């Protein structure tokens, strides 16, 4: 089973289209959120996200993942630096605003914990959508009914014609795989 750490390793080879698509699927919503919080309109936010992915395409072949640090924090720094670079270029083109007058993006906000939790939910959901094909339909249905819908394992077992133990095992297998997929990319999944 491949973990997100191995995803980062595979991304060291730029021509790996499937893994680049996965990275974009997982992280584009976060990049767009950060860009919008920095004051960019939708089109400019999308442009910034594209610029960040283009930069990652160049940087990740040499990137050494440090498991004691957060990949998302590094990605945020890359995004902020790219935003600043865009601001400097805009300043040079306009030459009407003093450099000291460039506003810092307001990425942090009082609801940061809420947004972090929302992003973690989104990231888990996207990873689950991507991983769904890896499981038998009955395993997936059992997991989904218990974890996402919050139904009792015994009720789900009866509905699907499985033993309660099989439902618990399905929940465990999918959650374990999800944790492996997202290891190092998000906070611990409960």
Contact 119, 169 (CB under 8 A): no
- Residue 78's alpha-carbon distances to 51, 60, 153, in angstroms, are 10, 12, 43
Q: pLDDT higher for 130 or 118? A: 130
* Listed residues 108, 138, 160: the one ending a domain: 108
The model's pLDDT over 29-72, given as tens digits with 9 standing for 90+, comes to 888 888 888 788 889 889 999 999 888 888 888 877 777 777 77
- The DSSP symbol for 146 reads I
**For residue 11, what are the domain limits?**
1-108
User: pLDDT at residue 111 above 60?
Assistant: no
Q: What is the CATH number of the domain that holds 102?
A: 1.10.1740.10
Could you tell me if 76 and 119 lie in one domain? Answer: no
pLDDT-derived band at 96 (thresholds 50, 70, 90) equals low
The sign one gets for the Cα dihedral 45, 66, 124, 19 is positive
Could you tell me if 3 and 49 lie in one domain? Answer: yes
Could you tell me if 11 and 94 lie in one domain? Answer: yes
Q: pLDDT higher for 187 or 1? A: 187
Rounded distance, CA 135 to CA 137, Å?
6
Query: Nearest 5°: CA angle at 167, between 164 and 168?
Result: 90
The H or E element spanning position 108 is none
Could you tell me if 64 and 98 lie in one domain? Answer: yes
Question: For the chain, how many structural domains are there in total?
Answer: 2
Q: What is the mean pLDDT of residues 62-87?
A: 79
Start-to-end Cα distance in the chain:
20
Q: What is the mean pLDDT of residues 156-167?
A: 92
Rounded distance, CA 83 to CA 104, Å?
10
User: pLDDT at residue 159 above 60?
Assistant: yes
pLDDT of 10: 82
Q: What is the CATH number of the domain that holds 186?
A: 1.10.10.10
Could you tell me if 57 and 143 lie in one domain? Answer: no
pLDDT-derived band at 169 (thresholds 50, 70, 90) equals very high
């Amino acid at each position: 089973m491949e973990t997100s750490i191995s995803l980062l390793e595979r991304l060291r080879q730029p021509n790996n289209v499937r893994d680049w698509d996965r990275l974009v699927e997982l992280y584009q919503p976060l990049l767009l959120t950060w860009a919008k919080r920095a004051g960019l309109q939708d089109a400019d936010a999308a442009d910034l996200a594209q610029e960040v992915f283009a930069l990652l395409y160049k940087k990740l072949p040499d990137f050494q993942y440090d498991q004691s640090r957060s990949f998302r924090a590094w990605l945020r720094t890359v995004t902020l630096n790219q935003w600043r670079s865009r601001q400097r270029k805009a300043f040079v083109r306009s030459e009407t605003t003093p450099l000291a007058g460039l506003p810092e993006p307001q990425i942090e906000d009082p609801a940061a914990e809420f947004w972090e939790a929302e992003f973690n939910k989104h990231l888990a959901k996207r990873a689950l959508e991507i991983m769904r094909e890896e499981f038998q339909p009955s395993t997936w249905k059992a997991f989904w009914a218990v974890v996402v819908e919050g139904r009792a394992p015994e009720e789900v077992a009866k509905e699907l014609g499985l033993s309660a133990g099989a439902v618990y095992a399905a929940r465990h297998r999918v959650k374990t795989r999800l944790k492996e997929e997202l290891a190092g990319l998000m906070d611990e999944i409960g």
